Amino acid sequence: MPATLIVGLDGTGSGDRAVAYAKKLANLIGDCELLVVYVIEWSPYTFQTAEENSERHKRREEEIVMATERVVNPAVSSLLADGIAARGIVRHGDVADLLNSVAEEENAEQIIVARTSEGGFVKRVFGTSTANLVMHASVPVTVVG
């Protein structure tokens, strides 16, 4: 069974650094799959009417399609073109919780994210979320500079 590495993307250039590092590790490991994950921050704790919830669900589905097309598919296509086994997913929720959940679901060996000064993970992950991910993840977390 191949090793699985989770690569967290944030939709900015820093995600390219995380992918590049994960690709390097995959080449060193050999039998390895990279699972590229993009998390759209979303809180289930907003109280809304039934009509607002219906619109919210539609908006979630549209966001998933857009993130898949613009962020995840290009990264996966690039990895596949380089001979690296890869697939991608997009989820809604808390970044740290979902990256860890995906790692657990996939029996991953490691989670790889990049720090950035471009916004993205610097606000979402390289603060409280990164601390939560690093402290509570069930697998090692590598933060690429």
Average pLDDT of the residues in 46-75: 83
Alpha-carbon distances of 89 from 50, 65, 86, 128, rounded to whole Å: 28, 10, 10, 23
Phi, psi of 6, rounded to the nearest 5 degrees = -90, 130
The CATH architecture that domain 3-144 belongs to is 3-Layer(aba) Sandwich (3.40)
Considering only CA atoms, which of 8, 36, 31, 35 is closest in space to residue 137? Answer: 8
Domain extent listing, the chain: 3-144
Residue 100: is its pLDDT beyond 90? Answer: yes
pTM to 2 decimal places: 0.84
Average pLDDT of the residues in 118-132: 56
Average pLDDT of the residues in 91-95: 88
